[in-house]
Structure 1
Amino acid sequence: MRGRVTLFLLVLLFSFSLLIVSLKNGIAQDSIIVGAVQTTIGPLGPFGREINAGLNDALTIAELEGGINGKKIKYIMANGNYNPKEDQVLFEQIFSGYKPLVMFGNSTELSKAMADEITMNYKCLYSGATFSSEVAYAAKYPSMFVPGPTYGDQMAILLKYIAKEKRGARIAFFYSDTEFGRDSIKFGKLMCGRLKLDLVSEQTASIKGGDITAQVEALNKAKPDYVVIHGFLVAPVPDLIKQCRDLGMKCTFIGTFWGATELLLDKLGPLAEGYLAVNPYSYWSRDEPMIRKIKEHTAKYHPDVKSRPIYYMQGFLTGLVFTETLRRADKAGELHYNGLVKALESLANFDTGGLTPPLTIKNNRFPVARVWKANPEKGKFEPLSDWITFYE
C-alpha cells in the first residue's frame, strides 16, 4: 500500500513469521509517529478497513492542514488478524522500530492485554476499536481513552431514553455470549433498578448466529416492551426480529453501537421498521461541517468511494482526538507522556465539526450519544432524540 500526501503507511503482514520493513530512513527526525495494529483482512476485514481508513484520513487531513503545529505526522500500520497474542507482537514490533507517541489497537482484547505495558513501559497516548469500560479508567490508565461512550454508557443512555418514553417499561436483554456481549449487562441491570424499569428477561446467543428458537420463545413469554440488543455485528439480529414479529410481538428493538450500522440496516430491510439504535457519531447522510469535509476529502483522494459507514466515523473521531491532544501537548512544550496525559485531560467542549456534539472527556471517555430510528425506505438512520449525556 502506498502512502499518500506525506503520510506514510506501512502494512506489516503477520503469518508464522514476522517481517518488518523499516521506513526509518524516510521519516524526518522531528516527525510525530502514530502507530496502529489494525485488522484489514479476514472475516473482520470489512470493519477494520473502514476504521483504519477513518483514522488514516483524519491524520492525513491534519497533515494537509499543517500537521502538529508544523510537525509532520507519519502513520505506521501493522495488519493483524484479531488474535490478541499475535497482535501484541505487532504492537511491540512497531514500538521497537519507531517509538511512536501514539498507538491504536484493533480490539478490546488487545487494548486490555497491553494496558499495563502502555502505562508502565510504552508510555504513549492510546485508543482502539473498543468501547470497553475497562479501557476508560483514568486513575489506572491515564493515557488510554475510549473514542465515545463505553458500552455501559450506551446502555445507560438508551435506558434513560426508554424510561422517559415509558415509565416502568418491561425490558429484555438479548446479548452475545462473548466478553464483548457481556460488557455492559451488569451495569444495565443496575440502571434498570435506578430508573425503575422492569427487567423481565435475559437471553444470550452465539455471535455467529444459529438457532435462537428457545430464546425467542422465552422473550415472547416475558412480553417485553423493549428488547435491548448488544454484542452482535449482524447475525442473529435479523432472525431475532423476524421470529419475534412472526409471533406477533409488538416490542421495540433497540441496539447499541454495533447495532447502529448501515450494514445491519441493509440486512434488516423492511424488518427495520421501528428499529432504534444508540450511536455517538453523525452518519454520512448528515449535513454537518465535518461530514462535508470528509466527503470532500473522499471525493479527492478516494474517488471510487461513494459513502462511509459509521465505524469509519469511529476511526475518524479517534484521529481527531489524537491530533488535538498532540497539538495541545506540543503547544505547551510537553510533547511527552505526561504532557499528553495533561492535554487529554484538558479536552472540554472540543468542537468536532458536528461529527459529535462538543466533547468533554470524563474518566477517559466521551459519554454522549443519541438515539436514532431506522428509516428502511430511505435506507438510513435518522435522529430520534437530542444528544444524551451520561456521567457516572
Structure 2
Amino acid sequence: MKQTRRTFIATGAAATAALGMPTILRAQPSEYVIGASLPLTGPFATAGQLVAPAFTLAEKLINDEGGIGGTPIRFVTEDSGYIPQNALANYQRALATEGDALVAYFGDSTGFMKLVAPELTGDQARLMGSTSFASELANPATNPYQYLAGPSYQDQFDILLQNIKDAGGSNVAFIFSNTEFGRDPIEHGKMRAEELGIEVVLEESTKPQGADIPTHVTKLAQSGAEYAILQGYVTGVWPQLIGGARQFGLPTQFMGTFWGMEKLIADRVTAEAGPFLDGYQGVMPYRYFYDREDAPRYQLFAEAAKEMFAGTPLENYMSTWTLQTMCALEIAIKALRDTVEGGNEPTPDNLAAALSGITDWDTGGFFGGPVSMVDNKIGTGRVYQYSTETGLFTPTSDWFTV
C-alpha cells in the first residue's frame, strides 16, 4: 500500500493508542485562516468591491482582541466573478494551500453554497457562511456546516406579509426575478399569505437585468395590488419597476427584501431620477450603520473604519452588504472562540455544534436584542422605510422573530 501522509498519521495514531499513549490529533496552528470568494468582477462587482474591505477590517479587529484563544487569524480572499464553479475552485485551492489551518469559508452566492454542499464531508468540510439567505440552506440535518447570517428569504416574506396584515392590507403582488434567488420564497409566501387572509393577486416573473418594465407595470396595474413585494434583485430592475409604476400613477406600496434595501442604491436613484422611491419599504435583518447609539460593535467598526479607510466612502458608512458579511464573520468567530476556549479542537463537527449552541447572543448592535441560532439561521428582522428628503431608511415596525 502506498504510504501517504494521511495513512502514516492514521497508522501512527493506532500505534500510540495501542501503547496507551496520548494521541495528538491536530497540531496547534500558528494561525487560523478563513477563506472567501467575492464577486470582485462580473454582474455584482459593485457589491463585491464594497464588501472586500470588510475582511481587512475584521482581521484587524479580531487580532486586536486576541484572535482565537490567543492564535491570530488571517483572511484569504479571491475573485469569483459570481461564477459558482470559480468559487468552488477557490475553495478547493484554499483547502490544498492552507490545510487544517483553514477553519471556515465565506461564499459569494446561493449557487456556490449549493454546489459545494456535497463536498463538505470528511477533511473537505469547513464551517461556511455566505451572502446567501437561501431557505434550503437553513437545515442543519442536510447542511450542518452552512449557516445564514440572518433570516431566510422565506422568513423575510413572513415578516413583510405580517407587516402588511398588521397595516390592514388585503392583497399583494409578488414580483421576482426568474432566478433561483428570485423564486426562493414565492411558494412559501403564497401559503403564508393564505394563512394571513391576504390574497396574492399577481405572480410576475422578470429578467434579473433588462426587464420589460412597461409590460410588468401594466400587469401590476391590472391586478389592483395594494402591496407589491419585490424579490431577487440587487442594483437594478427594482427601482425601475417602482419608477414605472409611479409614472403610470399606481399607488401600490412597494416592499423589498434584504438585497433591495441598500441606501447607496436608493440615494443614487433619487439623485439621477427623482424622488419616486420615497416611502419604499422593506425588511432588514440588521440596524443600518448610522444607527449606532446603542450598538457598541458598530461604534468599534466606525472608529476603525475612520482610521483605515480615511478619504474613501467607507470612512463614514458601511453598506448593508458589508454589514451582512461582517455579521457572517462575527458568527464564525463566535463559533471558533466558543470551541477553542472551551478546550475543543476547531473541527467542522465541533464548530457546527458551537454554531447550533448560540443562544441569547448579544451581537453588540447588529440586531435589536439578543438572538439565537435556530436551524442554522437567525430569523430576526424589521421593516424600514426610505425617505428621499433625509436619504435614510428608518424603522416602521418592531423587531419580528419568525
The normalised TM-score by structure 2 is 0.87
Q: 2:276 aligns with which of 271, 274, 277?
A: 271
Amino acid of the structure 2 residue aligned with 1:275: Y
Q: State the SS of the aligned residue for 2:255.
A: strand
How far apart in 2 are the matches of 1:104 and 1:65? Answer: 21
Q: State the SS of the aligned residue for 1:143.
A: coil
Distance 1:351 1:119, change over 3 A: farther
Check whether the contact 1:52–1:315 (CA below 8 A) recurs between aligned residues.
no
Say if 2:372 is the partner of 1:360. yes
What's the CA shift string for 1:15-35, capped at 9, x where partnerless? xxxxxxxxxxxxx93311111
Decide which moves more: 264-273 or 246-255.
264-273
What's the CA shift string for 1:353-388, capped at 9, x where partnerless? 112132201100111011000011111101111111
- Residue 204 of structure 2 corresponds to which residue in structure 1? 203
Structure possessing the higher radius of gyration over alpha carbons: 2
How far apart in 2 are the matches of 1:127 and 1:353? Answer: 19
Q: State the SS of the aligned residue for 2:120.
A: helix
Amino acid of the structure 2 residue aligned with 1:320: E
- Residue 51 of structure 2 corresponds to which residue in structure 1? 51
Amino acid of the structure 2 residue aligned with 1:103: Y
What's the CA shift string for 1:118-141, capped at 9, x where partnerless? 245422111111111122211111
How far apart in 1 are the matches of 2:192 and 2:58? Answer: 35
- Residue 83 of structure 2 corresponds to which residue in structure 1? 83
Decide which moves more: 360-369 or 244-253.
244-253
Check whether the contact 1:265–1:380 (CA below 8 A) recurs between aligned residues.
no
- CA displacement at 1:43 relative to structure 2: 3.5
Amino acid of the structure 1 residue aligned with 2:380: V
How far apart in 2 are the matches of 1:111 and 1:210? Answer: 27
- Residue 127 of structure 2 corresponds to which residue in structure 1? 125
- Residue 155 of structure 1 corresponds to which residue in structure 2? 157
Check whether the contact 2:35–2:104 (CA below 8 A) recurs between aligned residues.
yes
How far apart in 2 are the matches of 1:109 and 1:377? Answer: 38
Say if 2:362 is the partner of 1:351. yes
- Residue 41 of structure 2 corresponds to which residue in structure 1? 41
What's the CA shift string for 1:49-69, capped at 9, x where partnerless? 223322442232111111112
How far apart in 1 are the matches of 2:248 and 2:42? Answer: 37
Count of matched residue positions in the alignment of Structure 1 and Structure 2: 362
- Residue 5 of structure 2 corresponds to which residue in structure 1? none
How far apart in 1 are the matches of 2:62 and 2:43? Answer: 31
1:154-173 matches, within 5 Å, as: 154-167=156-169, 169-173=170-174
- Residue 399 of structure 2 corresponds to which residue in structure 1? 387
How far apart in 2 are the matches of 1:303 and 1:371? Answer: 32
Q: 2:105 aligns with which of 95, 103, 108?
A: 103
How far apart in 2 are the matches of 1:56 and 1:280? Answer: 23
Decide which moves more: 142-151 or 228-237.
228-237
How far apart in 1 are the matches of 2:291 and 2:106? Answer: 27
How far apart in 2 are the matches of 1:53 and 1:134? Answer: 29
Check whether the contact 1:119–1:143 (CA below 8 A) recurs between aligned residues.
no
Say if 2:327 is the partner of 1:297. no
Decide which moves more: 274-283 or 42-51.
42-51
RMSD of aligned alpha carbons: 1.5
Check whether the contact 1:59–1:323 (CA below 8 A) recurs between aligned residues.
no
How far apart in 2 are the matches of 1:376 and 1:233? Answer: 19
Unaligned stretches of 5+ in structure 1? Answer: 1-27
Decide which moves more: 179-188 or 352-361.
352-361
- CA displacement at 1:115 relative to structure 2: 0.8
Q: State the SS of the aligned residue for 1:94.
A: helix
Check whether the contact 2:41–2:82 (CA below 8 A) recurs between aligned residues.
no
Check whether the contact 2:43–2:82 (CA below 8 A) recurs between aligned residues.
no
- CA displacement at 1:88 relative to structure 2: 1.2
Check whether the contact 1:54–1:314 (CA below 8 A) recurs between aligned residues.
no
Say if 2:328 is the partner of 1:318. yes
- CA displacement at 1:267 relative to structure 2: 3.8
Say if 2:244 is the partner of 1:227. no
Distance 1:239 1:337, change over 3 A: closer
- CA displacement at 1:247 relative to structure 2: 2.4
- Residue 23 of structure 1 corresponds to which residue in structure 2? none
Check whether the contact 1:276–1:374 (CA below 8 A) recurs between aligned residues.
yes
- Residue 349 of structure 2 corresponds to which residue in structure 1? 338
What percentage of aligned pairs have identical amino acids? 29
Q: State the SS of the aligned residue for 2:36.
A: strand
Check whether the contact 1:133–1:151 (CA below 8 A) recurs between aligned residues.
yes
Q: State the SS of the aligned residue for 2:375.
A: coil
Check whether the contact 1:144–1:364 (CA below 8 A) recurs between aligned residues.
yes
Q: State the SS of the aligned residue for 2:77.
A: strand
- CA displacement at 1:308 relative to structure 2: 1.8
Check whether the contact 1:226–1:252 (CA below 8 A) recurs between aligned residues.
yes
Unaligned stretches of 5+ in structure 2? Answer: 1-27
Amino acid of the structure 2 residue aligned with 1:72: P
How far apart in 2 are the matches of 1:31 and 1:213? Answer: 55
Check whether the contact 1:253–1:275 (CA below 8 A) recurs between aligned residues.
yes
- Residue 139 of structure 1 corresponds to which residue in structure 2? 141
- Residue 5 of structure 1 corresponds to which residue in structure 2? none
Q: State the SS of the aligned residue for 1:370.
A: strand
- Residue 246 of structure 2 corresponds to which residue in structure 1? 245
How far apart in 1 are the matches of 2:43 and 2:144? Answer: 33
Q: State the SS of the aligned residue for 1:272.
A: coil
The normalised TM-score by structure 1 is 0.89
Q: State the SS of the aligned residue for 1:298.
A: helix
- CA displacement at 1:80 relative to structure 2: 1.6
